[in-house]
Amino acid sequence: MSNRTLTLLMGFVAFLILIVGIVFVIAVVGGGGGSSSTAASTSPKTSSSGVTGDICQGNTLVTFGEDPASVLDPIQVRDVGTAEYVIEIFGGLVTLDLNLKVQPDIAASWKVSPDGKAYTFTLRDNVVFQNNRKVTAQDVKYSLERAADPANNSPTVTLYLGNIVGVLDRYNGKAKDVSGVKVIDDKTVEIDLLQPSDYFLAELTQPVAFVVDHEQIDKDPRNWTQHPNGTGPFKLSQFTPADKVVLTRNDRYHLGAAKLDSVVFELGGGSLLTRYQNNELHIGAVPPIDLEAVKAGTSSLSADYKPQPLMDTSYIAFNTRQAPFDDPLVREAFAMSIDRDRINTVLLYGTQRVATSILPPEMPGHNDQVAGYGYDPAKAKQLLAQSKYAGKMPHITLTYAGAGGDAPEILQAIQSGWQDALGITVDLQASEYSAYLRDLRKGTYQMFDAGWAADYPDPEDFLDKLFASDSQQNEQGYNNPAVDALLKQARTETDRTKRFSLYSQAEQKILDDAAIIPTFWPIDHTLVKSCVQNWPSVAMPVPKYRYISIDASKEK
């Protein structure tokens, strides 16, 4: 072939590539004003050029979030990721502050009847929806009845609002309205309970109890969640699934307008750490592999490292209805042969907190005196020898939710602990998530790896839900009449000190029975840029973005 031919051919190709390149550039320039113009006009642009400028100069916080698992309708919210947006957009009668204490939100104050079964809320005068319509007692009644309406299929209403008179009747189609929610006048609403409950207000901070605008829902029942009209500190200005959620400040917010202009949640994930280092995000997360260096202070990220303890507990649970774990001695032996401190130091670089009891330290009612079994392999061996399964131990399998491959390292370490201390080989088996959940409820697993995250800051949410013999969530099949009696008494006890002491007694009994082995209280390994001010440390999602500001002068 002559060189001329090749040159010509290459020239032709170069021409084609040039054309494609020009089309692309035109599209880049044109596209900026075209397809994304609606988004750009309502939301501040985060980064328009390839290289992001100094993110500390603007007044927009860029963080990451999860793709919502439901539409942004408070009564449909069922996961922490979606709740994070909904609690900023909407509000209810009460809310949680940064110390996880219940505080008035739409309600200014409330009175509890002497029998503890009637709550009378007086609404604030200055609460308006984001479209400036005033919130009245009728809006509260509408919102709670809407949550209980069976046609709306709320997945959470029976769980959190079932104690309100008439909610379950409405949900089961036995009533046309919720008789326990009564409008007294425009700014007074009474809520009646089936049983007195000291944690009712904590339940009311849940999204399912938030106030929504019935005018908007009537007008646009299908698509109102794409531009919801709430009462919260932020408005939803953009939501593109898998891409981003943008919240902008609600200037009329009755508890004090936010300092930030807007908050951008990037939903795509991507290489979070790289993007954080590239100054595209204010908030980042430390991947496990970098934890050791970051924690030791030898990484450039160490200065930004803000470990965030969570109100969660990870645990290994026994099926107490099945051999061999129907024998408490076997359970105790298993509990005593896990060296959690060593797992934490060796495997986790000391970044986790070893759970000595069930309730995490952030949980009100956590009691340092309550403790489960410590590491004691000699005693464990002895207990196992006394158990009724001594010498005839059946084959044991521990199931966890996962997609196959190697089991999580922590489980492998626990497995080898049992092997070393007790000489028992436990199989680790992964199960697909929804099958795992279903079999848990059927009670087919011998033992399983699980965790529980607090819905609201009250020990009832852990102890009653997980260990009461009549609870749907008691997958251990744990049944101790003494514990049941304590939990039942605590449900209706309105004196908080007494109630928490009842929970402490119940918790100690549960741990003595080794119904579960608490392993760790997890920690989020968060990175926060130095120019972000007042980033709060709070163990569960509460409205927090209105406190935060950005100060370029604090940038390092």
Q: Which is nearer to other proteins, 161 or 333 (CB)?
A: 161
CB of 230 to other proteins, least distance (A): 17
Q: Is 211 helix (H, G, I), strand (E, B) or coil?
A: coil
Residue type, 122: T
Which of 365, 314, 302 has the alpha carbon at shortest distance from 340?
Answer: 314
* Token digits of residue 349: 């670089």
CB of 506 to other proteins, least distance (A): 20
Q: Which is nearer to other proteins, 426 or 440 (CB)?
A: 440
CB of 535 to other proteins, least distance (A): 20
CB of 277 to other proteins, least distance (A): 6
Which of 259, 213, 214, 243 has the alpha carbon at shortest distance from 89?
Answer: 213
**Residue 375, Cβ density class (10 Å: 0-12 exposed, 13-18 middle, ≥19 buried):** middle
DSSP state of 184: E
Q: Which is nearer to other proteins, 136 or 474 (CB)?
A: 474
Which of 150, 148, 146 has the alpha carbon at shortest distance from 138?
Answer: 146
* Residues ≥6 apart with Cβ < 8 Å to 430: 399, 400, 401, 402, 403, 404, 405, 407
CB of 281 to other proteins, least distance (A): 8
* Token digits of residue 443: 């009670």
CB of 265 to other proteins, least distance (A): 12
- Please, are residues 159 and 456 in contact by the beta-carbon 8 Å criterion? no
The number of C-alpha atoms within 13 Å of 203 and in the hemisphere containing its C-beta is 19
CB of 444 to other proteins, least distance (A): 14
What CA dihedral angle connects 353, 355, 358 and 360, to 10 degrees?
-20
CB of 153 to other proteins, least distance (A): 5
Q: Which is nearer to other proteins, 14 or 482 (CB)?
A: 14
Q: Which is nearer to other proteins, 30 or 297 (CB)?
A: 30
Q: Which is nearer to other proteins, 159 or 393 (CB)?
A: 159
- Please, are residues 532 and 282 in contact by the beta-carbon 8 Å criterion? yes
CB of 16 to other proteins, least distance (A): 6
- Please, are residues 540 and 524 in contact by the beta-carbon 8 Å criterion? no
- Rounded to whole angstroms, the Cα distance separating 232 from 210 reads 10
Q: Which is nearer to other proteins, 20 or 132 (CB)?
A: 20
CB of 411 to other proteins, least distance (A): 19
Q: Which is nearer to other proteins, 435 or 485 (CB)?
A: 435
Residue type, 82: T
* Residues ≥6 apart with Cβ < 8 Å to 524: 285, 307, 308, 309, 310
Q: Which is nearer to other proteins, 280 or 507 (CB)?
A: 280
- Please, are residues 260 and 548 in contact by the beta-carbon 8 Å criterion? yes
- Please, are residues 93 and 254 in contact by the beta-carbon 8 Å criterion? no
CB of 86 to other proteins, least distance (A): 13
Q: Which is nearer to other proteins, 188 or 277 (CB)?
A: 277
Strand 118-123 to 305-309 pairing = unpaired
* Token digits of residue 127: 């609460």
- Rounded to whole angstroms, the Cα distance separating 175 from 167 reads 9
Residue 247's CB is within 10 A of a number of other CB atoms, namely: 26
* Residues ≥6 apart with Cβ < 8 Å to 243: 266, 267, 268
CB of 293 to other proteins, least distance (A): 16
* Token digits of residue 509: 């009994």
Q: Which is nearer to other proteins, 71 or 371 (CB)?
A: 71
- Please, are residues 223 and 211 in contact by the beta-carbon 8 Å criterion? no
Q: Which is nearer to other proteins, 12 or 296 (CB)?
A: 12
